[in-house]
Every structure is written in C-alpha cells, then in structure tokens.
Amino acid sequence: MSFEKLGLNGNPFRLTPPLNPKDIIWAGMKDIKNKLEKRIKISLKTQPSRIVINWGTYGSGKTHAALYFSKTNRLQELTTENNISIAKSVKVTLPRASSNIVQEFLRSFLGQYSLEEIYNDFLKIKEDLGEEELIKMIDTFSNDTIIAEVFKNLIEAEEDEHFLKLKNYIYGDTTKGTLNYLELPYGLTNDEQIANFLATIINCITFEKKYFSSFFIWLDEFEDIDTINKNLQDRFTTFMRQFIDKTPSNLTLFINFTQKAFMDIEDLSMYLGEALTSRAKVQIDFTHPSIEEAKEYVRELFDFNIKENSEIPIDDDTLEYILSHIGNLTARKINESFSIILEMALLEDKDTINQEFIDEIKLEIISWEE
C-alpha cells in the first residue's frame, strides 16, 4: 500500500516494533522521556545499582522506551553530553515459556549482548590492564572458582574451537567431552552461578566507570510473571535479588510492568517479592497523554514520515476530533486508530482527511467512542 498519495513516505503509525533502529524514534510524550533520561543520567554519574519500575497501562510506551534507549544512539548521546564513558543497554523479555526460567533469562541476555561482544570487551580490558590484573578482577568479582575459570577460559579463547566449546558450555552443554576440554568439573546449571556469571560481566566492564559507565537492563512484560507457577516465580525473583546483590555498582534494572484491572502500584510486591520491592525505590508512571500531548505525538510521527514539500494530510480540528473520540489515550491506541484511518483514506482514494470522512469510516476505528 503506497502512502505517497497522502504525502507520506510510509505509514507513521506502526503496530509492531520497527526492524531498523533508524526507524525507532521518540515522538511527543516529553514528560515521560525527561523522567527516563533523568534516571539514566543519575545512573551514568553515580555508582549505586538501582531498580526502577516503569508502570503504566497496556500500550503506554514502556516497550518502546526499552527499544529506544537500547537500540538507538540516544544512550550514547547522553554519555557524550555528560562527558562520561559509553554505556551498555539491553532489552530482555520476561521468560515464561521455559521450565528453566533462569537459564532462559541468561540466553535472552546473551541474545542481546553476545558472547562475542563480551569477549571483545574483555580483550580491551586485558589490553589496558594486562592479563594478570584482569584475572585478579575476575577472581574478585566472580564469587565462585568455577565462574572464575569460565572467564579465564574466555580471555584465552583465541582459537575458534575453544571459543565454540565455551559458548556451548555457557548455553548448557554439560557433556563429558566439553567439560574435559575446558577442564571444568560441572556445568553452569546453578542459579546462583548464573547470577555470578552475569554479575562478573557487568562488574568488570563497568569497573570504576572506565570502560562502560553503566549497564542498563530493561526487563519487559514483567506482569506476565503471574502466568507461571509459584515455584518458578519464587525462583526467578530470588535469582534477580542475588543478581542485584552481586552487582552493587553501575547496574540499573528497569522493570516494565503493565497495570492490570483494579491494580494499584502498592500491589507490586505480590509480583516482585519483598526483596525486589524493597530495592525498587523509584517508579516512573507512563500516564495517559492529554489531547494536546497526543496531538504533538501524532504531528511528530507525521513529520518524521512526510515527503518533501508535503503537508500533514489531517487538519488540526480533525486531529482533535479523532483524539477526543477514542477514549483513554495511549500510544498504541493512537497508532491503531490513525493507521486504519490512513489505510481507509487510501482505499477511498482520499488525499486529505477531514471530519466528514472520519464520520463515514468511524465504525472501522476499533476504539471509537461517541
């Protein structure tokens, strides 16, 4: 479907996350962005690790925020603006389809920050400090002789076969051949060892904020923890507590939590457990935008996709008319509504969109309210 007739390069209102990081933009919602960036700047400039709860209704932009600060250049722009070392950010969705929820979290983490990247970052530290000092750092931060040996294997994994064996081991290969090759007595199967493994990575690469100033993890869809059995819930929250405790500096964990019906933020302890709740001192509320804030959001998305010498195909009065008739506003609801409006305009061969046209197609707009 070509949007050129409407003066657009494409549909500005995506219903799924873009594949190209260049297409991930922040539109409107300035108050939420400012609050997030304030928390990020505090983490960049201070040492203590912290948990931040991103709280809001379905479709309010929490996942988009995780993608924006993990996939675009914005985080590195903030480090440059604050004259501080680069930072690392990854988005991980709560594992809920596996009986080994901690191992699945590890796999998801490594899917975003690959072992190859970790290897290269440790080599940079090795080149700077020397192997002996790096080994001392590993011994200090690993809290476990087996984990220390894993990282010593990593920094010496110059051959492809050695690296592949180590990678298979970390992903759960505990066959006798792999263990003998790496000279390790048993596999990486204990939850606390996995916490030690992840903590060692972050503690080493953020040491004194010299290599990376901070490490950000965005844990998305945490509300779905209530869909797994109680034993796995307890196991995962215990693991996260251990991980946070073993990473006392330079880690910020953003937990994205979608508010469910009749639920208040005080009810979070039922999902997080007391140990994590007591560490989550800061909450960022992804509130419903006002009509004016929503208009700004829509205009900025249009501007990003407008063709040269073209104008937005919806006038201001029609824009306000639409936004005032789709109920409580969220980014997702706005995207869904305006996406179908643009598609219907193309089907009806319109080059501009006015209130009369909206009244003709309003039954096609799922969220429409009289």
Query: Is residue 156 over pLDDT 90?
Result: no
| Contact present, 154 and 118 (Cβ < 8 Å) | yes
Contacts 24+ apart (CB under 8 A), 318-325: 318/353, 318/354, 318/355, 318/358, 319/295, 320/291, 320/295, 321/355, 321/358, 322/358, 322/365, 323/291, 323/294, 323/295, 323/298, 324/291, 325/362, 325/368, 325/369, 325/370
Q: How confident is the model at residue 217 (pLDDT cuts 50, 70, 90)?
A: very high
Query: Is the pLDDT at 244 greater than 70, yes or no?
Result: yes
Q: CA 280, CA 349: separation in Å to the nearest integer?
A: 52
The 3 state secondary structure assigned to 163-227 is HHHHHHHHCCCCCHHHHHHHCCCCCCCCHHHHHHHHHHHHHHHCHHHCCCCCEEEEEECHHHHHH
Mean residue pLDDT of the chain comes to 91
Q: Which of 135, 72, 108, 88 minimizes the C-alpha distance to 250?
A: 88
- Tell me the residue ranges of DSSP E strands in the chain: 50-56, 88-93, 215-220, 251-258, 282-286
What integer pLDDT is reported at residue 310 of this predicted model? 86
Q: Please state the φ and ψ torsions of residue 153, each to the nearest 5 degrees.
A: -60, -40
How many C-beta atoms surround the C-beta of residue 24 within 10 A? 18
pLDDT at 72: 95
Residue 266 has a CB neighbour count (10 Å cut-off) of 8
Taking residues 189-213, report their average pLDDT: 94
Residue 246 CA to residue 202 CA, distance in Å, equals 10
Q: What is the mean pLDDT of residues 174-192?
A: 86
Residue (of 2, 19, 111, 5) closest to 71 by Cα position: 19
Runs of H (alpha helix) within 25-61: 30-45
Q: Are strands 215-220 and 251-258 parallel, antiparallel or unpaired?
A: parallel
Residues in Cβ contact with 351 at an 8 Å cutoff, skipping those fewer than 6 apart: 5, 6, 7, 313, 345
253 close to 217: Cβ distance less than 8 angstroms: yes
pTM surpassing 0.85?
A: yes
Question: What pLDDT score was predicted for residue 202?
Answer: 97
**Distance between CA atoms of residues 312 and 233, nearest Å:** 48
Work out the average pLDDT over 135-153: 93
Domain spans of the chain?
Answer: 4-15+290-364, 30-286
**How high is the pLDDT of residue 1?**
63
Sequence-ordered list of residues with C-beta below 8 angstroms from that of 39, at least 6 positions apart, any chain: 52, 252, 282, 284
The Cα–Cα gap between 241 and 277 comes to 10
Per-residue model confidence as pLDDT tens digits over 14-35: 888 888 888 899 999 999 999 9
The CATH code that applies to domain 30-286 is: 3.40.50.300
To which residue do tokens 């294997």 refer?
153
Contact present, 300 and 27 (Cβ < 8 Å) = yes
Over residues 114-141, mean pLDDT = 94
Predicted confidence (pLDDT) per residue in 284-332, tens digit: 999 999 999 999 999 999 999 998 888 899 999 999 999 999 999 999 9
Least confident of 234-243, 276-285, 311-320: 276-285
- Model confidence pLDDT, tens digit, residues 66-107: 999 999 999 999 999 999 999 999 999 998 877 889 999 999
